[in-house]
Amino acid sequence: MESNEKLLVDKVAYMTAEQQTQTLKFVEEITAGEKLEVPRIIFTCNNHICVMRVKSNHVARSLMLGSSPIKVIGEYLMAEHKLFVGEPTAQNLIESIGSFLPFPQEQIYMVNGHHLETGLPVSEEISSVQVRGALTETLEGIIGNCLHPLNHIDLISHDQLTQSQITLRGTIKYLRGFNQRLQEATGLKVVVEH
């Protein structure tokens, strides 16, 4: 395990030991076994954090960029709607109507969960505008957190960096317009993994 990846998990104080172990495994599996002609930069999220992984040949560095959109949406639903949902429900909500930019026609998604106070099952309509509002600060933070490391990374030269592209994986790839915003901010090509 790389020392910087241990540091990455140390920063995530709210995680249980099991979640930290799962996150380390998740980080180590990103680009595992790949032989690269040019450095690879991957943005991905699990249920807890967003990570940027830069890999060049057999050397890699992983940097925590911020909380996962799944975690942020779960917290938003509890705070604003008194609605508790599981991680799969939060993920489905993001993948269905999550966006960084407005839709031509905004979307609605029916969320099923449990009321925080009564514990009873409840359904509530959530709009893409609400999801976008809940995620905007986190997503801007993720973009901001990646800029300094990309400009000062010691694994790859500036020339190699300019030839690189960023690949979006996991839930973050479903956020409409995030790839465009990231490309504008970094100046690198951003592709969405299918």
* pLDDT recorded at residue 50: 75
Topology of the domain comprising 69-134: Actin; Chain A, domain 4 (3.90.640)
CATH top-level class of 3-66+146-192: alpha beta
Lowest mean pLDDT among 62-71, 142-151, 179-188: 142-151
Q: Using one digit for the tens of pLDDT, what is the confidence trace for 29-46?
A: 655 555 545 556 777 776
Query: What percent of the chain is predicted at pLDDT more than 90?
Result: 40
- Say what the pTM is: 0.76
The domain locations on the chain are 3-66+146-192, 69-134
**Residue whose structure tokens are 């973009």:** 143
Cα–Cα distances (Å) from 46 to 65, 100, 122, 127, 135, in that order, read 12, 19, 26, 23, 16
